[in-house]
Chain A
Amino acid sequence: MSLIQTKLTVNGYTHSLLVNADETLLFTLREQLYLTGTKEGCNQGSCGSCTVLINGKPVLSCMTPTLRCANKKITTIEGISGGETLHLVQKYLVSDGGLQCGFCTPGVVMTAVPYLEENPDVNRKEIKESLSGNLCRCTGYKKIIDAVENASKEMKK
């Protein structure tokens, strides 16, 4: 197996890494950079819990080869808040009870944040559609949708 050297910029920090051709971004983030906030769920693009941002666009890190991410700006759940201040989506997920076990939460946040930034005027139906690729086995979704809806209202202010 031949390892290939690459540089990844994650949450503002550039890392020089050796990866193999088949390595996914999810594996690199969790096993090489120890950024374990990004979760491995189904590992086949169905559950959304591994969502991260590449150049501001949400992608499933379990489906993305690490070598495709060279020279791109990667943001994980660890880089979404402003230091000690939670992002509004995170804040409302906490206050509205939009999480129970929390496993799907990083994926929900990383999907909702770019969506709300791109679409400030969203209704509940559109929020549901945008989060349709994020599976949650605990909450029944209602409180997640409530939280994202409340975050969108506050972001518009």
Chain B
Amino acid sequence: MGYYHTPSSIEDALSIADKYNDNYTFFAGGTDIQIYRKQKLDLNEHIIDLSLINNINTISMKNGTLSLGAMATLDEIFVSKKIQNNFPLIAKSVNSVATPVLRKTATIGGNLLVKNRCTFYNQSKGWRDSIGSCLRDVGDICQVTGGKDDCYARNVSDAATALIALNAKAVLTSLNGVEHRLVKDLYLPCGIKSHNLSKGTILTQIHLSLSPVKWWYKKLRLRKTLDFTSLTVAATVNKTGIVRVCLNGASMSPILIKESLDLLTLELLIKQARKHCKAVDNDLMPLKYRKQMINVFLEECWETISQKDTRTQSSK
């Protein structure tokens, strides 16, 4: 099985994708999708490697607007002085992903579009077959809830958490043209179809402007460098006092809470987060603990964002 395509332009990549209909997989860094292929979770015959396409891996800043090429690696983003000086929240978030070596290969675009994860799905084929498979695979029921309708696989993108808190925009390119969309609108609250992207669309750039006056970021995971997030929280406060808190790893899509700092209270923040959180027991950490940690993180976050000092941060 398999054909490997190395297009040198976005147009070429889109033409190849169009030619092979649904039977292709885009490869950015490949650090996540490679495991899907090994575990027989991605069986598409055509691999379209985006690494030879020029101009989609650059990091530039013009008139206060930061442009991140989707193929920029997490390490390139972390070491960029433009990012460390102006958007430390992004630097912190990309540096919390995986290991130093993997970050030299993994890309920001790939991290934003990482597939949702579940302990009953992201396993070898033999393991999945042994439990009768699940709704997202070839089975009939969700192995976590026993339900037949909904998949609760979690979105685990750390970059998305930070970029949504920063109100970033994504540039999407398809044969129909170029579309600008808020990063938060890239996601759907569904474990199976977790991204609101039509086939034959490539994420090429991420744009964001105005560094926040305050920010906070923290990630919960069992083993640093080994595990995907169990809960990530990123928060920003801008000059006009608008708070944006994004939680990820707790639900099928990132949860955004946006409110004026004057109107927001810790109780309201926790209430909103709890209301939108659709966490089920599909992570290495127990559900009860993860739910408790939402309160713990939001309390810590609130301490920082409600203070009058500027540009403070915390991380784990």
Contacts and interface: CB of A to CB of B under 8 A. Distances in A.
Interface of A: 1-2, 4, 20-22, 24, 43-46, 48, 51, 57-60, 62-65, 67-68, 111, 115, 129-130, 132-133
Contact of B2 (A1, A24, A43): A1
Given A21-B4, A67-B4, A60 B224 contact: no
Given A21-B4, A46-B226, A67 B101 contact: no
Contacts of B35: 44-45, 63
The 9 closest A-B pairs by CB, nearest first: A133-B99, A21-B2, A21-B4, A67-B4, A132-B225, A63-B34, A58-B101, A133-B101, A22-B2
B30 A64 contact: yes
Contacts of B99: 48, 132-133
Given A45-B35, A48-B99, A133-B99, 17 more contacts: A1-B2, A22-B1, A44-B38, A45-B31, A48-B101, A51-B101, A59-B104, A63-B35, A63-B102, A65-B34, A65-B49, A68-B27, A68-B51, A130-B100, A132-B99, A132-B224, A133-B101
Nearest to A70: B6
Interface string B94-109: 0000111110110000
Interface in B79-132: 98-102, 104-105
B2 A45 contact: no
Given A43-B38, A67-B6, A60 B102 contact: yes
Interface of B: 1-4, 6, 27, 30-31, 34-35, 37-38, 47, 49, 51, 98-102, 104-105, 224-226
A57 B104 contact: yes
Contacts of B1: 1, 20-22
Contacts of B105: 59-60, 63-64
Given A21-B3, A65-B4, A60 B38 contact: no
27 contacts: A1-B2, A2-B3, A21-B3, A21-B47, A22-B1, A24-B34, A45-B35, A45-B98, A57-B104, A58-B101, A59-B101, A60-B102, A60-B105, A63-B34, A64-B105, A65-B34, A65-B47, A68-B27, A68-B30, A111-B100, A111-B101, A115-B100, A129-B100, A130-B100, A132-B225, A133-B102, A133-B225
Contacts of B3: 2, 21
A64 B29 CA distance: 9
Nearest to B5: A21
Contacts of A129: 100
B275 to A, nearest CB: 35
A2 B2 contact: yes
A59 B4 CA distance: 20
B7 to A, nearest CB: 13
A32 to B, nearest CB: 16
A136 to B, nearest CB: 13
Given A2-B3, A21-B4, A45 B102 contact: yes
A22 B102 contact: no
A4 B47 CA distance: 13
Contacts of B226: 46
A4 B5 CA distance: 11
A58 B102 CA distance: 9
A4 B4 contact: yes
A42 to B, nearest CB: 10
A148 B75 CA distance: 22
A51 B83 CA distance: 28
Given A21-B2, A21-B3, A65-B4, A60 B49 contact: no
Contacts of A67: 4, 6, 49
B49 A68 contact: yes
A71 to B, nearest CB: 10
B264 to A, nearest CB: 35
Given A1-B2, A46-B226, A132 B100 contact: yes
Given A57-B104, A58-B101, A111-B101, A63 B31 contact: yes
A61 B98 CA distance: 16
Contacts of B27: 65, 68
B64 to A, nearest CB: 31
